[in-house]
């Protein structure tokens, strides 16, 4: 029986894991090498010690209602999209409310995690830690690794001939970027057009002499602000849209998505993407289109090579007098504290059962939390993983035999291995994955059942945002406030905007009621079909629901 659980890391996954362990009556001990909680989201000016943190100006890409812990809504006066300081404040509120800090050992590094000699029968682990130069050894019944996938910078210098031999300027990875002042008046080349590359290009355009943005793949850009000014993820990440995505032919959904993308601006005119693109990524950035339109950011193709002071691109063009090259090429994950026999069991998260469990272990007493990449909030996914995992550790849930877990892993392996920057684009549908783990944990809500018992709630769940509160309606960990949190989520979204009240006679509530009434049969049919045909798919749309 698992009792003592070691948790490595006190970021969002670690906090959720500590709380879920306590909910299941387990005894968690969390080891955090820094002096505070928050992980990646705790901003610091320094990059010393190898710690990765966000840059100064970062704001969340997912809204507060779609990113919060499922039984602890964000304060209603918080804006929908949070700067890192407010998100960290929310984490502190969560930790204080559930009394989590007393289970965390700060400034304590996990040096090694090894199987005990009797692991085949006990499933126990030996964890060696270091605090202030003093090493200590512990024995735990289970381990939850919560270090995430932003661990080691991916810097593929070999793909850019001349960068470290001929180029005389400065080059650095985005991990080292904190603010724009060091780049004032310089000509900067940003390599990589993910969310980070887009953000940094826009920010640097305010102070740099010129910013060039090198993109290897086709890229679609969309805004966090959706129709009528609501958060994009709240409007689009719904079970109804998920049903349409499952029900309609892929060619139709692809065409609809491309039309949606181009309804904001024609991406082909900007050199970003074409509807004929087969390989592409999607990023979130409200300002990049204007920067391209105003010329403060210039889009370029992939870099072919570097000379002493210039970059030569694959289309034959050259940009002279480049002062700084900023690589926004992503991260790779590594677990140096795990013994090699364990680390070799998975080369990436697709070798893990449900992206969590190494299936070849004799005992399922190790879980990797938060390594999954979703089209929605990873924070919500990590909490759901932690709930399921701790239920297994506590004996409420069980895993299938190793052979079935391995078969499931092989079935979901991609045909072609990708480099780390490309892996970012191969994301799993947020609703598909979260629903699957929720089903395993016995906490997935049933829309057809709710239609019979609570129609108002059922319609809000099916047509409204698939917010994390939905997974607190039933099963273990059921929260009495979940229903009210779902029905009031739009009020919390609008609350921080009500700083100046204007007269407006328009009221769409009655129209919404008629739409829901007409759509009742659709919800019933869709709920039934999805319950009979669960779908877990890898989404190439990198963030978009229909």
Residues 323 and 183 in one domain: yes
Residues 298 and 352 in one domain: no
Beta-sheet pairing, 324-327 with 4-8: unpaired
- In the predicted model, is pLDDT for residue 395 greater than 90? yes
Q: How many residues does the chain have?
A: 546
Residues 337 and 293 in one domain: no
Q: Is residue 484 part of a domain?
A: no
Q: Is residue 468 part of a domain?
A: no
- In the predicted model, is pLDDT for residue 546 greater than 70? no
Beta-sheet pairing, 104-105 with 27-31: parallel
The CA distance from 447 to 438, in Å, is 14
Which of 204, 166, 159, 162 is CA-nearest to residue 186? 204
The CA distance from 490 to 61, in Å, is 18
Beta-sheet pairing, 187-191 with 280-284: unpaired
Residues 118 and 32 in one domain: yes
Q: Is residue 492 part of a domain?
A: no
Helix (H, G, I), strand (E, B) or coil at 8: strand
Query: 24-34 pLDDT, tens per residue?
Result: 999 999 999 99
Q: Is residue 253 part of a domain?
A: yes
Residues 213 and 318 in one domain: yes
Helical packing angle, 84-97 and 12-23, nearest 10°: 20
Residues 65 and 138 in one domain: yes
Half-sphere exposure of 169 (CA within 13 A, CB side): 22
Q: Is residue 237 part of a domain?
A: yes
Residues 167 and 300 in one domain: yes
Domain's final residue, options 282, 303, 329: 329
Residues 216 and 282 in one domain: yes
Mean pLDDT estimate for the chain: 91
CATH number at residue 43: 3.50.50.60
Per cent of the chain over pLDDT 90 is 81
Q: Is residue 489 part of a domain?
A: no
Instruction: Quote the number of domains for the chain.
Output: 2
Whole domain around residue 340: which residue ranges? 4-151+333-431
Report DSSP letters for 103-152, one per residue.
GEETTEEEEEEEE-TTHHHH--EEEEEEETTEEEEEEESEEEE---S--E
Is 13 in contact with 370 (CB distance < 8 Å)? Answer: yes
Residues 79 and 208 in one domain: no
Residues 251 and 344 in one domain: no
| pLDDT for 542 | 38
Domain's final residue, options 329, 345, 370: 329
Place of tokens 């990059």: 47
Q: Is residue 466 part of a domain?
A: no
Residues 292 and 372 in one domain: no
| pLDDT for 544 | 36
How distant, in Å, are the alpha carbons of 10, 248, 259, 425, 428 from that of 254? Answer: 39, 10, 9, 16, 16
Q: Which residues of 374-384 are buried (b: 16+ CB within 10 A; e: fewer)?
A: bbbbbbbbbbb
Query: 463-517 pLDDT, tens per residue?
Result: 999 999 999 999 999 999 999 999 999 999 999 999 998 887 654 444 445 555 5
Residues 427 and 357 in one domain: yes
Helical packing angle, 239-247 and 430-441, nearest 10°: 110
The helix (run of H) or strand (run of E) holding residue 96 is helix 84-97
Q: Is residue 198 part of a domain?
A: yes
pTM, to two decimals? 0.91
Domain's final residue, options 329, 357, 379: 329
């Amino acid at each position: 029986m698992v009792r003592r659980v070691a948790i490595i890391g006190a970021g969002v996954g670690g906090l959720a894991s500590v709380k879920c362990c306590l909910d299941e009556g387990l005894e968690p001990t969390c080891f955090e090498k820094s002096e505070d909680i928050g992980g990646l989201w705790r901003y610091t000016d320094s990059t010393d010690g190898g710690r990765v943190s966000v840059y100064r100006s970062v704001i969340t890409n997912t809204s507060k209602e779609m990113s919060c812990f499922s039984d602890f809504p964000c304060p209603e006066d918080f804006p929908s999209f949070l700067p890192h300081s407010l998100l960290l404040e929310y984490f502190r509120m969560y930790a204080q409310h559930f009394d989590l800090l007393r289970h965390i050992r700060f400034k304590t590094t996990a040096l090694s995690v090894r199987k005990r000699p009797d692991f085949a029968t006990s499933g126990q682990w030996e964890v060696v830690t270091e605090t202030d130069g003093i090493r200590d050894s512990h024995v735990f019944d289970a381990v939850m690794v919560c270090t995430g996938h932003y661990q080691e910078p991916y810097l593929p210098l070999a793909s850019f001939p001349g960068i470290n031999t001929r180029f005389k300027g400065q080059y650095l990875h985005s991990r080292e970027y904190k603010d724009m002042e060091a780049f004032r008046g310089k000509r900067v080349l940003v390599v990589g057009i993910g969310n980070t590359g887009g953000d940094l290009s826009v920010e640097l355009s305010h102070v740099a002499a010129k910013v060039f943005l090198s993109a290897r793949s086709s890229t679609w850009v969309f805004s966090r602000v959706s129709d009528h000014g609501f958060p994009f993820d709240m409007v689009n990440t719904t079970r109804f849209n998920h049903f349409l995505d499952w029900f309609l032919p892929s060619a139709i959904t692809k065409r609809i998505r491309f039309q949606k993308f181009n309804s904001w601006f024609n991406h082909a005119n900007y050199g970003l993407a074409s509807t004929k693109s087969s390989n592409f990524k999607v990023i979130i950035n409200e300002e990049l289109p204007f920067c391209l339109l105003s010329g403060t950011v210039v889009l370029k193709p992939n870099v072919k090579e570097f000379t002493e002071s210039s970059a030569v691109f694959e289309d034959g063009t050259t940009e002279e007098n480049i002062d700084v090259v900023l690589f926004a090429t992503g991260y790779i994950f590594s677990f140096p504290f795990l013994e090699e026999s364990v680390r070799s069991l998975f080369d990436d998260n697709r070798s893990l059962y449900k992206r969590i469990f190494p299936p070849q272990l004799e005992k399922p007493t190790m879980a990797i939390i938060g390594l999954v990449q979703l089209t929605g909030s990873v924070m919500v996914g990590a909490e759901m993983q932690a709930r399921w995992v701790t239920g297994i550790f506590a004996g409420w849930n069980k895993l299938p035999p190793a052979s079935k877990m391995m078969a499931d892993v092989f079935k979901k392996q991609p045909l072609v291995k990708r480099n780390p920057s490309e892996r970012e684009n191969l994301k799993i549908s947020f609703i598909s994955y979260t629903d699957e783990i929720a089903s395993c944990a016995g906490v997935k809500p049933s829309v057809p059942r709710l239609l019979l018992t609570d129609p108002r709630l059922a319609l809000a769940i099916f047509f409204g945002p698939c917010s994390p509160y939905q997974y607190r309606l039933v099963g273990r960990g059921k929260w009495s406030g979940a229903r009210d949190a779902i029905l009031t989520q739009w009020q919390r979204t609008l609350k921080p905007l009500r700083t100046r009240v204007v007269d407006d006679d328009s009221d769409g509530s009655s129209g919404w009621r008629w739409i829901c009434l007409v759509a009742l049969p659709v919800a019933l049919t869709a709920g039934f079909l999805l319950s009979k045909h669960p779908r877990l798919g890898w989404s190439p749309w990198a963030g978009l629901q229909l």
